[in-house]
Amino acid sequence: MNRQVLMKIKVDDITEKPKLLSFEEPFDVFPSLVEIQKAGGCVFLAPLSIELKACKEYDHLRVSGSVTSKIRVNCSRCLTSFDSDLDLVFTIFYTEANRLGVEEEELELAEEDLVSVSYVGNEIDFSSEVAEQVIMELPLKPLCNDECKGLCPSCGVDLNEVDCECERSVFNLKFSALKNFRVDS
Ligand SMILES: [Zn+2]
Ligand SMILES: [Zn+2]
């Protein structure tokens, strides 16, 4: 079953007075999030709660929003999977596509965390940009804990749970090899 997300709004319905919209959508209505989960980036454990506030400003529409959900990711050091809260806020400026000159100027002025997108027609579908914001928020190198010790590169044990003797034995091996060399010569 392919359900479409209905996160659309008519441009004419957006006025200077902020309009609040809220959605609760399972991740699998967003094709790009399905791709991320398939690729092993993370597992979405809960639907996405999306709050948007849209208003008209000068020649563009300002949409600020937040997304919360729960994800399961794998620690980049010890590979253990753990659950993490997804909680992000964003602001997107929507500018009508035929105002290209204006849009370029805005892009230069925009702060780093502001996204500028153009739209065509009288309807805006927020879903792809919202999914994009979620993807940007996913941790590139998730850590189960800032202090995670990771896996031993020699024997592969989880150093958070076991203290292996690898470093010492590598050293002993080298040391005895050196000794033998001396004895032999
Ligand atoms: Zn870890
Ligand atoms: Zn080891």
In the chain, what percentage of residues exceed pLDDT 70? 79
> Residue 2: inside a domain, yes or no?
no
Taking the CA of 152 as reference, the closest ligand is 2
Each residue of 56-91: pLDDT tens digit? 998 899 999 999 999 999 999 999 999 999 999 999
29 and 104 part of one domain: yes
> Residue 52: inside a domain, yes or no?
yes
**Alpha carbon distance 59, 66 (integer Å):** 23
Q: Is 132 helix (H, G, I), strand (E, B) or coil?
A: helix
Confidence of residue 1 (pLDDT cuts 50, 70, 90): very low
Tokens of residue 104, six digits: 């370029």
> Residue 85: inside a domain, yes or no?
yes
87 and 166 part of one domain: no
Q: Could you list the residue range(s) of the whole structural domain that residue 31 is in?
A: 8-147
- Give pTM, 2 decimals: 0.77
Residues whose Cβ atom is located within 5 A of ion ligand 2: 152, 154-155, 164, 166
List strand residue ranges (DSSP E) for 45-80, in order. Answer: 48-57, 60-74
| Ligand 2 center–CA 140 separation, angstroms | 26
> Residue 83: inside a domain, yes or no?
yes
Looking at per-residue pLDDT, the higher value among 143 and 174 belongs to 143
**With contact defined as beta carbons under 8 Å apart, do 90 and 132 qualify?**
no
Bridge partners (DSSP) listed for residue 60: 57, 95
| Ligand 2 center–CA 144 separation, angstroms | 20
Q: Is 125 helix (H, G, I), strand (E, B) or coil?
A: strand
Of the candidates 30, 28, 31, 66, the residue with the CA atom closest to the CA atom of residue 49: 66
Number of domains in the chain: 2
> Residue 3: inside a domain, yes or no?
no
